[in-house]
Structure 1
Amino acid sequence: MLLSGEAFGLPTSMPWGVPLFGTIRHPTQIYFALTALISLGILVWLARRSLPTGTLAIAYVGD
């Protein structure tokens, strides 16, 4: 999906920008993937703790 150009970010001058459509853009797909991995790590960490019933579901869905 990163190279397909389906979800491109705003133009940027940051060194991790991705050349797309003739300009350097934010790699929003990478940002999304990192956020998902961090969220998964938090959920796994919470799942290993002794929590009241439903706490993990609320953490996953949000408030």
Structure 2
Amino acid sequence: MDNKLKEIRESKGLSQEDLAEKSGVSRAVISSLERGHRSSITSRTMSALATALQTPATEIFFFK
């Protein structure tokens, strides 16, 4: 899965652990998403990460 999760997380000065705490999504899931090892993501997880990053989900997960 192509996404900008790591780029946006780092631009906000957050570690994976920080984002996990803010979003309620496990660090392992965040890591897996950032490395492209997950081919799917639930809308709930997407929403939690977008909210924690204060960035629209479309900007993180749906871009060209």
TM-score interval, normalised by the smaller of the two chains:
under 0.3
**TM-score, L = length of structure 2:** 0.27
Q: Give the greater-gyration-radius structure (CA).
A: 1
Larger helix fraction of residues:
2
| Between structures 1 and 2, the one with greater strand share | 1
TM-score, normalised by the number of residues in structure 1: 0.27
